[in-house]
Structure 1
Amino acid sequence: MSHLLYGGNVVANDVRLHYLRYGGQGHPLVLIPGITSPAITWGFVAEKLAEYFDVYVLDVRGRGLSSSGDHLQYDTETCVNDILAFVAALELTEYHLVGHSMGARFAIRCASQHPQGLKKIVLIDPPVSGPNRRAYPSQLPWYVDSIQQSIEGMDAEEMKKFCPTWTLEQRQLRAEWLHTCYLPAIVKAFNDFHDVDIHQYIPQISVPALLMVAGKGGVIQADDIDEIQKLNPNISLSHVENAGHMIPWDDEQGFYQAFGDFLDQSII
């Protein structure tokens, strides 16, 4: 039986933000997906987390059912302000923030502002690119070509060109929802991976933080881990050795195990 309670919309930071709520019991947990991941694509993870937490999965602006269009801004600061306004709109007085990839970068920036109620953050394989740094390993044309094809219409078999290791169900869901990723929003987020120095905010994180690294992702390397922990020695570390950047897609059980008891629950 599904733990999905409902999908909803709130007005936050002057835009409509859509979210999915799972579970409804336990400590609130806000999940921020990556650059081209509408909330529904993290549903299988939210179902598991909902056994332990009250889970809210956000459609970042320009994705899924949240506001989109050329009249909006899609820079890091604006999206971070969305998250903080979203939490306030839902009146979450205490919450954990879990972000994957782009969402992890947003979580770093959120935490650096010391928002009231934020208890812990989990940073799932955040891009460590930035000014004068090693480029993010994925290439922009991969995103552009797949989104453009999805706008025209694509099926799971056509998605295999872009996600060859994914299961049929995973590719079906991505093929169904990728067209909701507004291309200018994706391009801006990708450019911000390289133009925004997210490292400057790491020393300002005062809440407990867990950095989860994909062993096969190529996004975070040993030198990057050393730098992050020197910037903030209080950041804990876990590895999912057999997973690429999309960790729960590659090793779902390893993903849950990597949380350990960081969130005061062992996810089994």
Structure 2
Amino acid sequence: MSHYQYGAQVHANGIRQHYLRYGGRGPALVIVPGITSPAVTWGFVAERFGARFDTYVQDVRGRGLSQAGDDLDYGLDAQADDVAALIRALGLNDVTVLGHSMGGRIAIRMARRHPDLPLARLILADPPVSGPGRRPYPANLPWYVDSIRAAVHGMDADAMREFCPTWTEQQLRLRAQWLHTCDERAVVQSFEDFQRDDIHRDLPRVTVPTLLMGAGRGDVVTDADADEVLSLLPDARFTRVENAGHMLPWDDEEGFYRACGDFLGCPI
């Protein structure tokens, strides 16, 4: 039985925000995807969380069905304010925010800028820990730009396999279908902001229990990175999903759910 409820839009933080809702019961959980992941691509994860949580997946501005445009601010502060405004617009309380990759950085900035939000927990799934004076995020911008342009032109799963060779046919089809909705300008700015924004300065002001999750087969969050983050976060723990690369639930879905469930205190 599917836990999908509906997709909807709200006007929050001055823009149109689109989201998908799953479950409809239990504590509130908001998923903030990464740099080129429209909400629909996290549907399989939201289905699983929807069995126990009232789950919302946001289309980050410039992605999916949320507002995009040349005049839109795609900076981290605006993205963080979007999540806070979405939570308020939906009237959610005691919210767990799960941010993957870029979404993890958004969650950190959101918690710092909006200390009055009714947050319960944060889950930071393999967030880039790059910033001024730090090692760069270990990915290449042309990979994102080239794949987006191919999707805008029109591509199928076979063409997408060139960019994501380990993904399943279903995953490739979904990405090929939706990647064209990722605004190139938004993606380029977000990628470049990985090196410009200093999220480490935000960490001491994140006061809710936080799980930092790293990929066992990736180098986005090293052990040294995790140690530094934990030294700055007042209430945090670290875990690795040993059999996953950066796209954690795509690579090791059950390992990802176990890590989340251990932190949330219930099986996912």
**What is the TM-score when the length of structure 1 is the normalising length?**
0.98
- Bigger drift between 9-18 and 232-241 goes to 232-241
| Percent of residue pairs bearing the same amino acid type | 56
Contact 1:124/1:211 (<8 A) preserved:
yes
Distance in 1, matches of 2:134 and 2:9, equals 37
Map of 2:199 onto structure 1: 198
Contact 1:41 1:173 in 2 (8 A): yes
Q: Secondary structure at the match of 2:124?
A: strand
Moved more, 31-40 or 224-233: 224-233
Residue 76 of structure 2 corresponds to which residue in structure 1?
Answer: 76
Number of matched pairs: 267
Pairwise CA RMSD: 0.9
Unaligned ranges ≥5, structure 1: none
CA-to-aligned-CA distance 1:156-185 (integer Å, 9 cap, x gap): 000011000000000000000000000000
Paired AA for residue 158 in structure 1: A
State the partner residue of 1:123. Answer: 124
1:87 aligns to what? 87
Match of 2:65 in 1: 65
Partner residue of 1:103? 103
Correspondence for 1:147: 148
Matches of 2:223 and 2:126 in 1, distance apart?
A: 13
Could you tell me how far apart the structure 1 residues matched to 2:200 and 2:16 are?
29
Superposed displacement of residue 189, structure 1 = 0.4
Q: Which residue of 2 aligns with 1:21?
A: 21
Q: Partners of 1:169 and 1:40 in 2: how far apart?
A: 13
CA contact (8 A) 2:215 2:244 kept: yes
Give the secondary-structure state (helix, strand or coil) at the position aligned to 2:116.
coil
Distance in 2, Cα, partners of 1:152 & 1:54: 36
Shift of residue 94, structure 1, vs aligned partner: 2.3
Query: Where does residue 238 of structure 2 map in the other structure?
Result: 237
Whether the aligned pair in 2 keeps the contact of 1:238 and 1:259 (CA below 8 Å) is no
Q: Measure, in 2, the Cα distance between the counterparts of 1:260 and 1:54.
A: 15
Question: Does the aligned pair in 2 maintain the 1:62–1:68 contact within 8 Å?
Answer: yes
Deviation at residue 233 of structure 1 after TM alignment: 5.0
The answer to whether structure 1 residue 181 and structure 2 residue 186 are counterparts is: no
Contact map agreement 2:93 2:118 (CA 8 A) in 1: yes
111-120 or 157-166: which moved more? 111-120
User: 1:233 & 1:78 partners in 2: Cα distance?
Assistant: 25
Residue 163 (1) aligns with residue 164 (2)? yes
Aligned AA for 1:198?
Answer: I
Q: TM-score, normalised by structure 2?
A: 0.98
Structure-1 separation of matches of 2:195 and 2:262: 33
Separation of aligned partners in 2, 1:128 and 1:108: 11
Cα deviation digits, residues 68-96 of structure 1 (max 9, x gap):
01021100001111111111111112211
CA distances 1:6-60 after superposition (whole Å, capped 9, x unpaired)? 0000000110000000000100100000000000000000000001100000000
Structure 2: runs of 5 or more not aligned: none
* Cα distance in 1, alignment partners of residues 116 and 189 from structure 2: 25
Separation in structure 2 between the aligned mates of residue 226 and residue 106 of structure 1, nearest angstrom: 20
**One-letter amino acid matched to 2:102:** M
Deviation at 1:110, TM superposition (A): 1.3
Poorly superposed stretches of 4+, deviation over 3 Å: none
CA–CA distance in 2 between the matches of 1:94 and 1:3?
21
